[in-house]
């Protein structure tokens, strides 16, 4: 399973907003430049984030985007769901009609369980935790 570029880039932009604090709007052009993304692409992402109630937009010479709530109250699960919908490891978990084998598939419970575990872990991680670098990096496995 891979997270989409929408989720990866949106998460980076949200962490950058969290680093800037909750009161100062960040212009989209500045975010786009620092993240090396097009403004159009970020506009698309921020439209979804705004619709989900995760960011607020302000107009004017000092306008831009800011977090709608404190960074410790926004989870990575919320950001991922706002940008891509439900987090699922395989298509059939979110849409049982996707596969006609779902009702008697012996691996379906595995994918459903792993999807629940991933969602639960993502719900435990806030933007503030990412800003504070509270997640430890896994050891690199050398083969």
Separation of alpha carbons 57 and 72, rounded Å = 20
Q: What number is the average pLDDT over the span 71-76?
A: 96
Contacts of residue 71, defined as CB under 8 A and 6 or more positions apart, other chains included, come to 18, 22, 126, 127, 128, 131
The domain made up of 5-131 is a member of CATH 1.10.10.10: yes
Lowest mean per-residue pLDDT among 13-27, 39-53, 73-87? 13-27
For 100-115, the pLDDT digits (tens) are 666 777 887 888 888 8
pLDDT for residue 122 is more than 70: yes
pLDDT band per the 50, 70, 90 thresholds, residue 1: low
pLDDT at residue 85, rounded to an integer:
83
Strand 64-67 with 55-58, pairing: antiparallel
The SS3 of residue 49 is helix
Lowest mean pLDDT among 51-55, 82-86, 135-139: 135-139
**Whole-angstrom Cα distance, residue 80 to residue 91?**
16
Q: Residue 96: which pLDDT band, with cuts at 50, 70 and 90?
A: low
Q: What are phi and psi of 65, to 5 degrees?
A: -115, 150
Measuring CA to CA, how many Å separate 138 from each of 56, 135, 141?
34, 9, 9
Q: Report residue 90 as tokens.
A: 């395989």
């Amino acid at each position: 399973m891979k997270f989409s570029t929408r989720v990866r880039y949106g998460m980076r932009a949200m962490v950058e907003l969290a680093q800037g604090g909750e009161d100062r709007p960040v212009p989209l052009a500045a975010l786009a430049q620092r993240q090396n993304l097009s403004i159009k692409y970020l506009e698309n992402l921020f439209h979804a984030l705004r619709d989900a109630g995760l960011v607020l937009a302000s107009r004017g010479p000092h306008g831009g985007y800011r977090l709608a709530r404190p960074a410790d109250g926004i989870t990575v699960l919320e950001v991922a769901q706002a940008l891509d919908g439900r987090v699922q490891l395989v298509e059939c978990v979110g849409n049982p009609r996707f596969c006609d084998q779902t009702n008697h598939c012996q691996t379906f419970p595995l994918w459903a369980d792993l999807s629940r575990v991933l969602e639960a872990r993502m719900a435990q991680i806030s933007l503030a935790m990412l800003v504070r670098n509270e997640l430890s990096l896994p050891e690199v496995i050398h083969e």
